[in-house]
Structure 1
Amino acid sequence: MHIVVATDFSPLKTLPKVLSHLNFLSEQQITNSALLAFGTNPQQYFPTAVVKCAHFHGLHVAKPIPDHRVIKGDVFTQVDEAIDFILSKIALAVGMRSHSNQAPLKYEIPRAVIAEAIVNAVAHRDYQSKGSVQLMLFANRVEISNPGALPPELTLYNLRNDHSSYPKNPHLAEVLYQAGYIERFGTGTGEILRLCKEAGLAEPVFDLGAGFKITIWRPEVIGKQFKKNGTDQVNDQVTDQVNELIQRLILITDQAYARQELMTILQLKHNPNFRDNYLNPAMQEGYLSMTLPHKPNSTHQKYQLTAKGQQLKIRLEREEE
């Protein structure tokens, strides 16, 4: 069983006490929420407890599909990997180091907006449903939906302001809150609206047509480049996603960094995604190298730009000026 224990629980010491504290034990048996939060394979008991992700070039569901995946594991893994899936596809601007040694980063949609929407979908979905959480990225928007409905105490209008919390899965929501994935109950949708407005994005749309869906709009210029004369067009120059992610890693690497430090700078949390799509390709292409190449698994391992990486970084920075 994989378990994430927040600092508040450390005095409890033993696993049964932690589970009891979270109301994850019933007559000495672990509950469904415990399986979803800490089980190594909760899909054995809840086959549809997954997040289905898909990326489309245009404005509608259509082939080709550049990337699609089904994210399994516990709810923490699902949330982390789903957030990183979106962040790896949307635009990232790396600013100048005028006020800090580390260049500021700005995703086209704030990470907090994506995270809040995905956490809400995973925490409040109907786990008895045969449907799954779905995340679809289009040229002009992100759609995040889940098989669930608003509680009778809430309306779509209520979601626009702070409101009392009526979680579908209260114990699951509580552990996500204790682990820091939820900041305050009842503020999620209001926070999404506020952050989108501050970022200059169009107001998100909430829909109860089939389950619960939120549409988060990408910057207008992103959508326009895929639309011409009222019809959807696929961009002739499809971005090489792996190459784009390597460039992001190169631009932020101004000294030797540990893997976790690089992930923190890029606002990523899912280790396998970072290794497979950012770190390993950058090293395989010769842009990044280990500081301790003979001790690849050392806890003191860091990563730095090679001469080839330095040259590419200079070129990339010149292009951004």
Structure 2
Amino acid sequence: MLKDDAVFLNSLAIKQALADEDLTHFAIFPVTLGTQLWGTIMCTAKNVSSKRLSLAQDYLTNVLRESFASNTDSFTIWDALTAHQVKQINYFHNFFPLSEPNPLATPSNPATINGHPIANSDAYHSIKLAMAYIHRNIQQSLSLNDVAEAAYLSPSYLSRLFKKYLHVNFVEYVNNQKIALAQEKLALTLTPINQVSAQLGFSQTSYFTKIFKRKTHLTPSEFRQHNHAIQKVYTIPRDLDWDDSASIYDVTKNYFERHEINYQTDADDDGATYLTRIGNLADKEDSQGWVYTVDGQQPVQSANEVNAQNKSVIQWVYMNYAN
């Protein structure tokens, strides 16, 4: 594969180079040499008209034919594949995998290390696509079918991937992300609850209230009343870098370091670790400070004493105790 003036020679390197790309924003042109598929050309297609794509197709055809003069009449660049056609190809791949078997896979633990999908394995890439789509569209109604289509998977297969690798079912994962965002909106804005519900893709405020109370043990209005003194929220959604053996503190530390967020910690005599400053907000004795929640609940233990396994979202909250 040629990309950004670099050459990628093996499947793992290619998958890594494409891992962060959103394929819905690309035009994928199949290229044939004679009667055989020779390769594909991917071009950025965000906000690109069909006329411009057609011109690009003609231009690429001329470039190929000029570059391979001995095969001038044999190269053909076909119309760009639709998202539905790409999805169909991926369905066939699920039934008839053509790639070489992963040497680290075993029948009982396919393509995993310590229960995690091996980076850039098919499972890793599929889950990453699905999670990226969820977070881009978290303020819309999200169904398993919608996300599966975006990740070019069958709904049943995507459901199995969530349970196997994230240890939570699809609906719970999505709801945990929505409720975390709802907590931010309720604490930091005065947006009416029915509007918060609508902004998160819930068709009925009553259903939003039901899910919110099940996750937090408070209604949205009770949560707002109890948390109006919150000044800042950092939300850490689960991703494939989480280690199930890690603590909430370990996951937080890795996230802050990756995103270049400054923080300070302190520990008591019992070994409990606390975050005393995040960004430019620091604890002030008996008046302001940082607390954390996991999937909408505030544990009583310190962050280094709570395991990240089976968790979907962490939030660090700076609040005024005096209020």
Fold equivalence (TM over 0.5) = no
- Give TM-score, length-normalised by structure 1: 0.26
Query: When you count strand as a share of all residues, which structure comes out higher?
Result: 2
Alignment TM-score, normalising by the size of structure 2: 0.25
Answer 1 or 2: higher relative contact order, Cα 8 Å, separation at least 6: 1
